[in-house]
Amino acid sequence: MKIYCCFTPAHEILLRQEFLPSIPETFSVHAESIEVAGPGDFLSPEFLHCINQKISLIIESLRTNLGDVIVWADIDIRVFSLSPSKLASELGEHDIAFQREGKKGEGSRGPFPWTCGTWRAPTPRVTYPCIGDG
């Protein structure tokens, strides 16, 4: 299963030292660097430009993996227990699933599995528990 992510040069250390070493070998990592022309503070023009680039990368990954399940993840995480079969089973009949963030059950930013090629409004599912839900 392919796992996609993107990063800015300032965050490459997180990619190399934390994220990549935690990804199981059953995943094929596709990491894209996004250049930022400034500090990239939250909601700044540079930040929004990076978000637009990330959206373009997500759309392209969906188009190039028709019929497959892929994963998108932020790089500021470590993976402790993740397998392609578990993610595919969590999707069930849904197009996309989000990890629960905390006990309230809101969806987090990732990692999230996504079925490519449905091309309709996705049916989200907040699913697998976060660490510490006990």
- Checking if the pLDDT of 133 tops 50, the result is no
Residue 133 falls inside a structural domain: no
pLDDT band at 2 (very low <50, low <70, confident <90, very high): very high
For residues 74 and 109, is the Cβ–Cβ distance under 8 A?
A: yes
> pTM of the predicted model, to two decimals?
0.79
| Structure tokens given for 26 | 């059953």
- Domain hosting residue 15, numbered range: 2-126
Residue 131 falls inside a structural domain: no
- Lowest-confidence range among 5-9, 31-35, 99-103, 119-123? 119-123
The number of folded domains in the chain is: 1
pLDDT per residue over 72-122, tens digit each?
988 887 877 788 888 888 788 877 777 766 666 555 556 667 777 655 444
Q: Which residue has the tokens 């409004």?
A: 121
Whats the size of the chain, residue-wise? 134
